[in-house]
Amino acid sequence: MEKANNLWPDKVTICEVGLRDGLQNEKKIVSLEEKLQLLHAVVAAGIKVIEVGSFVHPKAVPAMADTDKLVQAMEKVDGVEYRVLVPNLKGVERAFAAGLSKVKLTVSASEAHCINNFNKKPLEMMEAFTSCVDFVAQHNMEVSGAISTSFGCPFQGKVPVEQVENVVRGFLKLGITELSLSDTTGMANPRQVFELGSHMKKTFPQVKWVMHFHNTRDMALANIVAGMQAGITVFDGAFAGLGGCPFAPGASGNVATEDVIHMLHEMGIDTGIDLEKAIVTARLAEQMVGHQTGGAVLKAGRCEDLTKQQAQRQNNK
């Protein structure tokens, strides 16, 4: 079959967010030693962009209380981007003190979500980001942005495109040009993803776009396909499909990293990641949290494995 090069990318970048978004909502607090083991496994699989944690108040997200120690203890591998999520200037300062050079700032596109959680509108929240950006510039760091509830909000419902655009312009005004469109509670659908992604790429061509999907309603892989059709080639995933947001009702697990890799490889799209090692990482994570997770490949195995098993049966006859 001839490949339609105009429809699918040759390569996709996957950012592993399991150590942050995957573990932050787990009942069991994964130890520092276990996090280091997971981080080593993620790097060994060939993943080049990793969100290792967040610098938030430990009472708000207890699972992230040891992020400073994790960053200081981890072995930084050349060619791998390590970043943390930060809510404010104090978070940026902690990241710098720990030895990290990249941070991510996040704000909700939904006014209802922002007001409910922070008693501020999105653009009011972003006013505080000026000091963060100034610190980053002065200390030779990098900063990216995430726009949560880009596709829907548990309080507001559908989020108008204009609200998303307003947040994008706010980030651009700050000089931030790497932005993630995040489906915080898994409300997105493929048509919406394609239309919003296409619109954002056309309206803001200077932005490096990332998409972040939760699999709450089992549409994350379909949404990634729609995102690729819109021209997006960078997506977040979390090992074993772990995750959820403590501040967004109904935000269950992220799309499983290994499921995304498996789908892309079956489609002939390169990720630069060793799928077998990614599956090992997911199994390790599942063991650490102590319960079955949402990853499909962990349950069913790879399509390639099924083919090999069938061929072996034929040879044994």
Q: How far apart are CA 120 and CA 9, in angstroms?
A: 39
Please report, for residues 20, 25, 61, 73, 272, the alpha-carbon distance to residue 68 in angstroms, rounded to integers and kept in the order given: 13, 18, 14, 9, 29
Q: For this structure, is 245 an active site residue? A: yes
DSSP 3-state of 142: strand
Beta bridge partners of 104: 85, 144
Which position has the token pair 């960053």? 71
From 69, 76, 161, select the one nearest 110 (Cα to Cα). 161
CA 58, 60, 61, 62 dihedral sign is positive
Q: How far apart are CA 11 and CA 234, in angstroms?
A: 9
Phi, psi dihedral angles at 107 (to 5 degrees): -145, 150
CA 283, 288, 289, 291 dihedral sign is positive
Q: What are the helix (H) ranges across 45-81?
A: 67-73
What does the radius of gyration of the chain's CA atoms come to, in whole angstroms? 19
* Tokens representing residue 302 in the block: 């790879």
**CB contact at 8 A, 197 and 168:** no
Among candidate residues 114, 132, 153, 245, the one labeled active-site is: 245
CA 132 distance to own-chain centroid? 21
Catalytic residues: 245
